[in-house]
Structure 1
Amino acid sequence: MGDLVRLLQLVQFSDSALPVGAFTFSNGLESAIQEGVVHDAGSLKAFVLAATRQAATLDGVALLVAHRAAQAEDMGLIVAADHAAHQRKLNEETRTMAVRMGRKLGELGEHIVRTRPLADWMEMVRGRQAPGTFPIGLALVTSGFDIDARHAFAAHQYGVASMILGAALRLMRITFLETQAILFEVNATVEEAYEHIRTDTLDDMKGFAPAADILAAVHLKAHIRMFMN
């Protein structure tokens, strides 16, 4: 396949319209707005930047490790990365989001990208031997059609930002012009984020963002919710 084909395949799997359920989650934004943490375009941009930094050092590392493991057909390391991505999420909401989206992505991938690592992983997910988190699913799918790990990481980071900004349009007074300007700025940080974690191992994974974790916990018990937990 040529580079243009791979580019379009990557665009397809990073599209916000991909049917894996991303539109049903706000990644903590709903509580952030209810609690006054996010209230305008500036505070929204800060929230998205914090979320993408956390995603890079946590799920981003798991994705890169799993992507390399898929190319080596090392199922043990793939499953270890899956468990690491699941266990390092401190609150129930983010764990739920990761596995619901991950399993849907895996099911979709099975119909499009038929590789042994993806099939074996999905068998283990269905057998409850692996949790089935989204970054691992994305690593296996992109590895399956020869997208390199660097571009797979970029697609993951884009997905985190676009999920939150899509939710913002439904939750607060902000225009699509403002959200697209924020996304453009956030996208410009991806190269630095990749260079920061590209050689990290599972032992290096970290996601210290206590305010985000508290907001996700608040959302779990919220009486009024537009987005799922």
Structure 2
Amino acid sequence: MRSVTGLLYVLQFADSALPVGAFSFSNGLESAIQQGVVRDPASLKQMVLAATEQAATLDGGALLVAHRAVLAADMQGLVAVDRAVYLRKLNEEMRTMTVRMGRKLGELGAHVLDTPLLADWVRAIKSGASPGTFPVGLALVTGALGVEARDAFAAHQYGVASMMLNAALRLMRVSYFDTQAILLEVNATAEDLYQRVRADTIDDIRAFAPLLDILAATHVRAHVRMFMN
């Protein structure tokens, strides 16, 4: 059974207030609102569901692969999955988001945890040998803390949904009641998503959500922007 301490570790690294810069990003939501794709709580829910499904098959699957590499102390495997995640991000803004958050998480982890593997990864990022994506950073931190892969996946999925819903409160007419109701529904899908990707290898991680990629691409040229993507 999960210990109380282990549960607190999961809560800490799933917290939207974790200082890795998640508040600066909307995961494409700002552009979706500007383009009229998201306009009310119902369409907001559909976008968050699509985003968390995409996150599960790409970043979530990569997190699980990286978590196994952490347990095996496989630095070469970590760099390989880090590169695979980065190369599967089809637009500039999503690549920017994952490496800015990942590098911040790596620096934070190296400061609070004394683990050689995490320190080696931070050095690999600084040397340019590894991109520094967020799911790999989360795998390193949670793995070092003894958090199980399933719980690390849950923390990641929660982070994606909470990032977008917190952004929605600043971008559109939606209430805290609406966003919490949406979050409850989105959270209910996490177990099925985990079962879908739990055995994935590095060759299996993938994403296919053309509309989300197009929205992120158009956001680069937006005249007014509150979020970095």
TM-score by length of 1: 0.98
Q: Deviations over 1:181-208 (max 9, x none)?
A: 1001100111000000000111111100
Q: Tell me what 2:11 maps to.
A: 11
In the aligned structure 2, how far is the partner of 1:23 from the partner of 1:225? 14
| Aligned positions, number | 228
Structure 1: 5+ residue stretches without partners: none
In the aligned structure 2, how far is the partner of 1:55 from the partner of 1:29? 14
* Shift of residue 35, structure 1, vs aligned partner: 0.5
* Shift of residue 9, structure 1, vs aligned partner: 1.4
Bigger shift: residues 6-15 or 87-96: 6-15
In the aligned structure 2, how far is the partner of 1:164 from the partner of 1:10? 19
In the aligned structure 1, how far is the partner of 2:213 from the partner of 2:170? 22
Q: Secondary structure at the match of 1:178?
A: helix
1:94 matched to 2:94? The reply is yes
Structure 2: 5+ residue stretches without partners: none
* Shift of residue 10, structure 1, vs aligned partner: 1.2
* Shift of residue 116, structure 1, vs aligned partner: 1.6
Bigger shift: residues 21-30 or 112-121: 112-121
Q: Once the two structures are aligned, what percentage of the paired residues are identical?
A: 65
Code of the aligned partner of 1:214: I
* Shift of residue 170, structure 1, vs aligned partner: 0.2
In the aligned structure 2, how far is the partner of 1:103 from the partner of 1:208? 25
* Shift of residue 111, structure 1, vs aligned partner: 1.4
Code of the aligned partner of 1:46: Q
* Shift of residue 99, structure 1, vs aligned partner: 0.2
1:174 matched to 2:183? The reply is no
Q: Tell me what 2:220 maps to.
A: 220
In the aligned structure 2, how far is the partner of 1:132 from the partner of 1:22? 15
In the aligned structure 1, how far is the partner of 2:22 from the partner of 2:84? 21
1:35 matched to 2:35? The reply is yes
Q: Give runs of aligned pairs for residues 1-229 of structure 1, distance below 5 A.
A: 3-229=3-229
Q: Secondary structure at the match of 1:202?
A: coil
Q: Deviations over 1:58-81 (max 9, x none)?
A: 011110011000110011110001
Q: Deviations over 1:26-52 (max 9, x none)?
A: 000001000000000000000000000
Code of the aligned partner of 1:9: Y
Code of the aligned partner of 1:221: R
In the aligned structure 1, how far is the partner of 2:3 from the partner of 2:154? 16
Code of the aligned partner of 2:49: L
Code of the aligned partner of 2:117: P
In the aligned structure 2, how far is the partner of 1:202 from the partner of 1:61? 8
* Shift of residue 135, structure 1, vs aligned partner: 0.3
* Shift of residue 113, structure 1, vs aligned partner: 1.9
In the aligned structure 2, how far is the partner of 1:228 from the partner of 1:191? 30
In the aligned structure 1, how far is the partner of 2:134 from the partner of 2:205? 16
* Shift of residue 112, structure 1, vs aligned partner: 1.4
